[in-house]
């Protein structure tokens, strides 16, 4: 339920009950050291244990929300290439459900915008403040909690923490778990004070089905969706563009591509084909042992020519898709367009669960060091032509990244 109007008087909310999670902290450290191939690749064991000991010592005096935040902060100390690890605030499998405010946010270059909401009048609005705290200060409080591979995957993860009722209360921004006030500039330019009531994460997922990528704007007619959004529910799709002068492949899940490589080669051999576009912007990963036939097609003489192969990437391009992007970059003449990949070329992956019974949440830890190229020290595959997605383009259904690649 969404309540819009005067702000509720939240200052008098009852204090949260404390929960002793000191045993959970010890379990977390022990399981990380048992399961993770190298938990101290970016932080020293001494520093990590000191931080864990400090959290355990304070645990009996922390509320559940504060303990959750400190657990997130502790796991995030593992550093870069750790996007598979962490306690996801919108994960629906926690033993004690978490809560979320009923809207979807996305971090555009000029701020956080509402891309979907139970109250559709909020869609297109830009978030200014949470309970009176400017959003830049809110982000500064949340950054140390977000596990990531790099800055790109950090930008992807931040909005999920920003809608979490437990996280916002745990960092001291909101006094109530049930509701919170937000300041929004609507798409019409008016400033509104909004009070949102939190849903359990399962309720949130039913109201606003979770997607691991940026969905088409709520309310935008499907006929105005850009091509990559129209194909977003497909594992892969292929179509000619520009009257046959280009071939476009949406590879949205890193699985076996079937007959796509053969069809791609057949289309790419046609006279007049000047560009082959591989779109990885919505590919959050899969199995990095299954893309070999597609990589072979891209390395063929038909496609691997100067100026012919373009690859589109974004902060969503993660895990096995990040491996695939690195393999393309290493072994072809492709030019990359869009955002840096959210996944590192080499990363810690294959996440497994760690159960924290007192806190009632599941923490994930990477269990394997996934290597594409041992000599590749990059945190991301950077685009040759950076093309940010502006909020105005997104809400209008424009695709500047594909436009740049086709030029």
Structural domains in the chain plus CATH codes = 97-207 (2.30.42.10), 222-345+380-406 (3.90.226.10)
Q: What is the pLDDT of residue 236?
A: 93
Q: What is the H or E stretch that residue 331 is in?
A: helix 320-331
Q: What is the pLDDT of residue 60?
A: 93
Q: What is the pLDDT of residue 212?
A: 61
- For the CA atoms of 244, 245, 250, 251, what is the dihedral angle to 10 degrees? 110
Judge whether 235 and 321 are in contact, CB under 8 Å: no
Judge whether 326 and 291 are in contact, CB under 8 Å: no
Give the gyration radius of the chain's Cα atoms.
22
Q: How far apart are CA 61 and CA 372, in angstroms?
A: 45
Query: Phi-psi category of 22—alpha, beta or left, where left has phi over 0 and alpha has psi -120 to 50?
Result: alpha
Q: How far apart are CA 267 and CA 289, in angstroms?
A: 25
Q: DSSP 3-state assignment of 120?
A: helix
Pairing label, strands 246-251, 275-279: parallel
Q: What is the pLDDT along the chain (407 residues), one digit of tens a residue?
A: 333 333 333 333 344 556 789 999 999 999 999 999 999 999 999 999 999 999 999 999 999 999 999 999 999 999 999 999 999 999 999 999 999 999 999 999 999 999 999 999 999 999 999 999 999 999 999 999 999 999 999 999 999 999 999 999 999 999 999 999 999 999 999 999 999 999 999 999 999 986 667 888 899 999 999 999 999 999 999 999 999 999 999 999 999 999 999 999 999 999 999 999 999 999 999 999 999 999 999 999 999 999 999 999 999 999 999 999 999 999 999 999 999 999 999 999 999 999 999 999 999 999 999 999 999 999 999 999 999 999 999 999 999 999 999 99
pTM, whole model, 2 decimals?
0.93
**Tokens in use for 44?**
């020293």
Q: Where are the alpha helices (DSSP H) in 21-129?
A: 22-35, 45-58, 64-76
Provide the strand spans (E) within 245-371: 246-251, 275-279, 309-313, 335-338, 347-349, 352-356, 361-365, 368-370
DSSP letter at 348 equals E
Q: How far apart are CA 102 and CA 119, in angstroms?
A: 8
């Amino acid at each position: 339920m969404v309540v819009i109007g005067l702000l509720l008087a939240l200052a008098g909310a009852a204090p949260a009950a404390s929960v002793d999670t000191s045993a959970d902290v010890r379990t977390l450290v022990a399981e990380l050291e048992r399961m993770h191939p190298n938990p101290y690749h970016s932080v020293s064991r001494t520093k990590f244990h000191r931080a864990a000991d400090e959290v355990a010592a304070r645990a009996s005096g922390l509320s559940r929300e504060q303990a959750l935040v400190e657990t997130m902060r502790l796991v995030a100390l593992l550093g870069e290439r750790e996007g598979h690890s962490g306690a996801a605030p919108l994960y629906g499998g926690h033993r004690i459900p978490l809560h979320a405010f009923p809207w979807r946010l996305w971090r555009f270059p000029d701020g956080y915008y509402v891309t979907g909401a139970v109250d559709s009048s909020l869609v297109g609005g830009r978030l200014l403040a949470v309970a009176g705290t400017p959003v830049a200060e809110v982000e500064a409080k949340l950054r140390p909690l977000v596990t990531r591979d790099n800055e790109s995957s950090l930008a992807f993860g931040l909005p999920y923490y920003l809608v979490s009722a437990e996280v916002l209360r745990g960092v001291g921004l909101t006094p109530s778990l049930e509701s919170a006030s937000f300041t929004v500039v609507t798409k019409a330019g008016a400033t509104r004070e909004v009070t949102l009531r939190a849903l359990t994460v399962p309720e949130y997922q039913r109201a606003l089905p979770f997607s691991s990528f940026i969905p088409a704007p709520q309310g935008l007619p499907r006929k105005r969706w850009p091509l990559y959004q129209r194909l977003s529910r497909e594992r892969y799709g292929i179509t000619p563009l520009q009257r046959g002068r280009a071939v476009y492949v949406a590879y949205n899940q890193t699985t076996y591509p079937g007959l796509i490589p053969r069809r791609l080669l057949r289309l790419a051999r046609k006279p007049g084909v000047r560009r082959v576009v591989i779109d990885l912007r919505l590919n959050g990963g899969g199995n990095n042992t299954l893309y070999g036939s597609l990589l072979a097609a891209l390395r063929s003489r038909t496609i691997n020519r100067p100026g012919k192969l373009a690859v589109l990437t974004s902060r969503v391009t993660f895990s096995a898709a990040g491996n695939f992007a690195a393999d393309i970059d290493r072994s072809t003449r492709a030019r990359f367009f869009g955002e840096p990949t959210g996944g590192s070329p080499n990363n810690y992956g294959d996440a497994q669960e760690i159960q924290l019974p007192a806190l009632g949440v599941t923490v994930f830890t990477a269990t394997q060091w996934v290597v594409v190229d041992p000599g590749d020290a990059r945190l991301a595959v950077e685009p040759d032509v950076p093309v940010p997605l502006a909020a105005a383009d997104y809400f209008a259904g424009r695709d500047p990244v594909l436009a740049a690649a086709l030029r």
